[in-house]
Amino acid sequence: MQIPGPMQIYRLDALWDNYIFLLYDPESQTAAAVDPAEPEPVLDQVRSLGARLTAILNTHHHGDHVGANQALMQRYPDLVVYGGAGDRDRIPGQQVYLSEGDTVTFGGHTAQVFFVPGHTRAHIAYYFPPVAAEPWGELFCGDTLFAGGCGRLFEGTPAQMVDSLSKLRALPDQTRVWCAHEYTLNNLKFARTVDGDNLALIERLAEVETARRHHQATIPAVLGIEKQTNPFLRWDHPALQATAHSRDPVQTFAAIRAMKDRF
């Protein structure tokens, strides 16, 4: 049995602050796009690799995540479009309807599908565990979890989002978080207002400020660091509960999320 090699991941800039991720398997010379907002960055990268696009992995239906689906399907008519079961008729070209516990395979790597509503009612995430000697797992979480933050609750409830983030928080620390927006600096500035004595957060904010001054991306993030510094993964920590004036996890999360909405 052949052991798959490390999965190659390309981060592509799109729109104003979006990221598209392209997964590439050099052995088969195939690629899969995660949340393609625009077609051009994907097509350019696929051409430069001499690859063939075979799949689109959508996390949810928002236009800045599915905007390129139809154009990419026109260029590659045989590609398969994946998305959440609850997004039926909302994701252009969707052919596969995924639920919690389903799997998706690309390039010898198999992703576990998590149902993570909150930002939208049908949001899903894809987690590729490490295989062989790989040091990292890879999490593609759309707009559920951001570096230093989480998505707004457009179609879900605080209770749903806490449940969704709990699933992601339970993944190994050695997981790279490929979220779809460059929001990290603003997120961490807010985090300082609700968790100001957190030394790991203070150090991380300084690092991110330096990176952004040099126009460097902050994605992927590391889940182990998120657990230490992201207030939306820390609803059960005394500092956040004190800020929220509640020891209830959902009420704490809801209070912090409401503060971020006004930040």
Active site residue 181: yes
Active site residue 89: no
CA atoms within 13 A on the CB side of 166: 11
Q: Which of 35, 61, 87, 119 is catalytic?
A: 119
Q: Which of 64, 87, 102, 195 is catalytic?
A: 64
Active site residue 119: yes
Where are the extended beta strands (E) located within the chain?
8-14, 18-25, 30-34, 52-57, 80-84, 96-98, 103-106, 109-115, 124-128, 137-142, 145-146, 149-150, 175-179, 221-222
Residue 138: strand pairing partners: 128, 176
Q: Which of 25, 61, 181, 195 is catalytic?
A: 181
Within 10 Å of residue 22's Cβ, how many Cβ atoms?
22
Which structure tokens are listed for 260?
């971020």
Phi, psi angle pair for 36, to nearest 5°:
-75, 110
Active site residue 215: no
Q: Which of 65, 109, 123, 195 is catalytic?
A: 65
Q: Which of 61, 62, 109, 123 is catalytic?
A: 62
Active site residue 237: no
Number of continuous H segments (helices) and E segments (strands) in the chain: 9, 14
Residue 52: strand pairing partners: 30
- Using CA atoms, how far residue 41 sits from 25, 36, 238, in Å, is 18, 9, 44
CA–CA gap between residue 167 and residue 27 (Å, rounded): 32
Active site residue 173: no
Helix (H, G, I), strand (E, B) or coil at 125: strand
Q: Which of 25, 87, 143, 195 is catalytic?
A: 143
Q: Which of 25, 35, 60, 87 is catalytic?
A: 60
Active site residue 65: yes
* Residue 2 DSSP symbol: P
Q: Provide the annotated active-site residues.
A: 60, 62, 64-65, 119, 143, 181
